[in-house]
Amino acid sequence: MPVQTTLNKLLASFPANFLEKRAGFLLLIDPDKYDEPTLLKLVEDATAFGVAAILVGGSTMISNRLDEYIRHIKSVSPLPVIIFPGSVVQVSREADAILYLSLVSGRNPEYLIGHHVIAAPLIQQLELEPISTAYLLIESGRKTAVEFMSNSSPIPRHKPEIAAAHALAAEYLGMKLVYLEAGSGADYSVPEEMISLVSKTISVPLIVGGGLRTPEDVHRKVIAGANFVVVGNAFEHRHDKIYLQEMIAATNLSRQNQSVPR
């Protein structure tokens, strides 16, 4: 029997989700953007509505209270908490795992291997599970924080075959997940044509995020082939429970057939 790692928990839901025509919903929280009661309420509600895991992080996160935030999140939710690091300082022994991201769409060696070498001994010391993830930045209108901070060019949005070749190379290199990223608050999310080609090309789970604001956005990405969707920014602007519920429910396509998403 495989060890019950956080990655295995996510992967276990992958084939089942595929058969049930649904995707996992990953709630992204940048703790700097919430007051604590709002944050905890969001986590509680998202847990009740069936989120797969909580991602914590952000490109410019400056909080030095990451341990404390994660402890608080875990006090109200049994879900895995996975660090989505914007920089090497975002590590915590309180998390279950960390997305060990390699920015394979870029050619900046620091984001391909440099930061990983710095962070690896610390991750081992903290006994934090690294989840090897290919991170592909996709052009999305204006320059995003990730593009600026990483000093790397995104893949043109009208070149799905370039994205697919990068994703396949990453899978061949042994990466366990592929993440197509338009950037937080992106004007344009990852195009469905690209999601579709990448999902047909690779056999590891595909994560899609950046600029998803409506249940219909989520729905379209899942139909195109996303196995997990990530939403963060939208909930920083809208705190109502019904919106949260509809966003999460939009990952379930069989349910969507019964009610048209807004």
Binding site for ligand 1GP (CB under 6 A): 28, 181, 184-186, 209-212, 230-234
CB of residue 209 to ligand 1GP, shortest distance in Å: 2
* Choice between 186 and 197, CB closer to ligand 1GP: 186
Which residue of the chain is nearest ligand 1GP when measured via CB?
209
- For residue 198, give the nearest of 179, 211, 182 by alpha carbon: 179
CB of residue 125 to ligand 1GP, shortest distance in Å: 26
CB of residue 231 to ligand 1GP, shortest distance in Å: 4
Buried b (16+ CB within 10 A) or exposed e, 85-109: bbeeebbbebbbbbbbbbbbbbeee
Distance, in Å, from the CA atom of 39 to the CA atom of 135, rounded to the nearest integer, reads 26
CB of residue 87 to ligand 1GP, shortest distance in Å: 13
Burial class (CB in 10 A: 0-12, 13-18, 19+), 41: middle
Question: 86 is written with which tokens?
Answer: 């914007």
- Helix-strand-coil split of the chain, %, nearest 5: 45, 15, 40
CB of residue 1 to ligand 1GP, shortest distance in Å: 33
* Choice between 225 and 232, CB closer to ligand 1GP: 232
* Choice between 28 and 204, CB closer to ligand 1GP: 28
Contact between 181 and 152 under an 8 Å Cβ cutoff? The reply is no
* Choice between 172 and 214, CB closer to ligand 1GP: 214
The CA-based dihedral angle spanning residues 87, 90, 96, 102, taken in that order and rounded to the nearest 10 degrees? 10
**Alpha helix locations (H) across the chain?**
6-19, 36-48, 66-76, 109, 115-125, 145-150, 160-172, 192-201, 215-224, 233-237, 241-249, 253-256
CB of residue 179 to ligand 1GP, shortest distance in Å: 8
Distance, in Å, from the CA atom of 44 to the CA atom of 78, rounded to the nearest integer, reads 10
* Choice between 69 and 135, CB closer to ligand 1GP: 135
* Choice between 96 and 147, CB closer to ligand 1GP: 147
* Choice between 28 and 167, CB closer to ligand 1GP: 28
CB of residue 211 to ligand 1GP, shortest distance in Å: 5
- Please tell me whether residue 63 adopts helix, strand or coil conformation: coil
In this structure, are strands 177-181 and 53-56 parallel, antiparallel, or unpaired?
Answer: unpaired
